[in-house]
Amino acid sequence: MTTIVGLISYGRVWMGSDSLISDGMQKLSLPHPKTFVRYVGERPLCFGVAGSARISQLLEQLELPAYHKKASPRAFLFDLAEALRECLKDKGAGIEERGQQGGNFEVLVAFDGELFVIQSDFSILETRGDFVAVGSGQYYALGSLFSTEASPDPAWRLRLALMAAEHYDPGSGRPFWVGSI
């Protein structure tokens, strides 16, 4: 239950998140963003996690795969998803159903000027447009991002998208966090 938004604008990748966590009976506000940056060598790698907080905690500590200069960012994401799958299995944090491993999460990833989504079955989605959203408020955020495409201010667009999600989605709430890499 959350909203994570990503936007490519003026050669930078922007991400934002809400701060609400909820179990359906109560809601709490996190003191930190649901997005964070790690580095692969000198390349920033930004994560935004919707779903289980455990996934975020494991991603913060995950041994990242090497990025080879001749490889595409998408190839790196395949290696990253596999490393995450192995980590969840080793730490007992994944869910296994009918022989398939997965979990309760979606991860928005910004890497090398592109946006990707790692889905709960570890498949990789590469965005074609310049914005994407994940989490329970994603549809409201996507509508907002679409309607503000003419705006030159990416931070404002992301905040407005998070506000739309907060207004309509009971699983999204303030404070909002927005930044770029």
Give me the CATH number covering residue 173: 3.60.20.10
Query: What is the count of structural domains for the chain?
Result: 1
pLDDT of residue 104: 79
**Whole-model pTM?**
0.92
Residue with tokens 């408020």: 137
User: What digits encode the pLDDT tens for the residues 60-116?
Assistant: 999 999 998 788 999 999 999 999 999 988 877 666 666 566 577 999 999 999 999
pLDDT of residue 99: 58
Confidence at 127, pLDDT banded by 50, 70, 90:
confident
Domain of 125, in residue numbers: 3-180
User: What digits encode the pLDDT tens for the residues 135-168?
Assistant: 999 999 999 999 999 999 999 999 999 999 999 9
Q: Count Cβ neighbours within 10 Å for each residue of 144-170 and write b for 16 or more, e otherwise.
A: bbeebeeeeebeebbbbbbbbbbeebe
CA-based nearest residue to 133, from 7, 4, 15, 2: 4
